[in-house]
Amino acid sequence: MDFFDVVNARRSVRRFLPDPVDRADLERIVAAGVEAPSGCNLQLRQYVIVDDSALVERIRPMSKALAGAPAIIVVLVEPTGTKYGEFWVQDASAAIENMLLAAVALGYGSCWVEGQVRPREDDLRKLLGVPEALRVWSLMPVGKPAETPPRPPKPAPGEITHHNAFGRR
Ligand SMILES: Cc1cc2nc3c(=O)[nH]c(=O)nc-3n(C[C@H](O)[C@H](O)[C@H](O)COP(=O)(O)O)c2cc1C
């Protein structure tokens, strides 16, 4: 797919068909995350690919956005600052967006699930054996979409873009 077709086709998919996802595809998606920029190149991210169906079933109830998902990528991040400031949230975010787009390019749906991770972070940590030094930051379901979500309202680029000075269109 053309890059801009991928960008425009991406939607938050929250319902999935049960078809399993190839481990190689999940690894390609993670590899796209690895390629994302990283503040001071500290590379603070790690990933847990969960494709064991019994384990997936234990995670699914944590968010409605995981309904039927055959696989889940769990994003871990080490909350370490740099001499310029804290960039680890941005590091995780850059990787997640790369992975969401990679999933679309490979024909899968996904969703950035973070709001519902915070209250379940300790449960996920225990379930996956994640060390205390890492935050369990986001989940990404991956699977063939069982829905085609409509594009939600977004501003037209021209409404929020300024040329050389604020307010200058
Ligand atoms: C930081 C962040 C956290 C999010 N957390 C959740 C979540 O916990 N559950 C969920 O269903 N969607 C979550 N989303 C997805 C947004 O709801 C979604 O991106 C938004 O509604 C726009 O829709 P679109 O992704 O189809 O463009 C999250 C998105 C971001 C960027």
Contact by Cβ (8 Å): 49, 33: no
Ligand 1 centroid to Cα of residue 164, in Å, is 31
Ligand 1 binding pocket includes 152 (Cβ within 6 Å): yes
User: Can you give the pLDDT at residue 106?
Assistant: 98
User: Can you give the pLDDT at residue 128?
Assistant: 98
Residue nearest to atom 15 of ligand 1 (CA): 112
Q: How confident is the model at residue 33 (pLDDT cuts 50, 70, 90)?
A: very high
- C-beta contacts of 29-35 below 8 A and 24+ residues apart: 29/73, 29/99, 29/102, 29/103, 29/106, 29/108, 29/140, 29/142, 30/73, 30/99, 31/102, 32/98, 32/99, 32/101, 32/102, 33/75, 33/95, 33/96, 33/98, 33/99, 33/102, 34/95, 35/98
User: Can you give the pLDDT at residue 161?
Assistant: 98
Mutate to test the pocket of ligand 1, among 62, 112, 151 (most ligand atoms within 8 A of CB): 112
Quick one: angle between helices 88-105 and 23-34, nearest 10?
A: 140
User: Can you give the pLDDT at residue 151?
Assistant: 98
User: Can you give the pLDDT at residue 138?
Assistant: 98
User: pLDDT averaged over the chain?
Assistant: 97
SS3 145: strand
From the alpha carbon of 96, which atom of ligand 1 is closest? 31
pTM of the shown model: 0.97
User: Can you give the pLDDT at residue 119?
Assistant: 95
Ligand 1 binding pocket includes 118 (Cβ within 6 Å): no
Please give the backbone phi and psi of residue 136, each rounded to the nearest 5 degrees, phi first. -90, 105
User: Can you give the pLDDT at residue 36?
Assistant: 98
Ligand 1 binding pocket includes 94 (Cβ within 6 Å): no
Average pLDDT over residues 3-31: 98
Strands 45-50 and 71-77: antiparallel
Summarised one tens digit per residue, pLDDT across range 77-127 is 999 999 999 999 999 999 999 999 999 999 999 999 999 999 999 999 999
Ligand 1 binding pocket includes 11 (Cβ within 6 Å): yes
pLDDT over 70, % of the chain: 100
Tokens of 140: 């990404």
**Which residue in 71, 63, 80, 49 sits closest to 123, CA to CA?**
63
Please give the backbone phi and psi of residue 146, each rounded to the nearest 5 degrees, phi first. -105, 15
Between the CA of residue 115 and those of 62, 64, 65, 121, 149, what are the distances in Å? Answer: 11, 11, 11, 11, 19
**Which residue in 116, 98, 115 sits closest to 106, CA to CA?**
98
Average pLDDT over residues 54-78: 97
User: Can you give the pLDDT at residue 56?
Assistant: 98
Mutate to test the pocket of ligand 1, among 13, 74, 111, 154 (most ligand atoms within 8 A of CB): 111
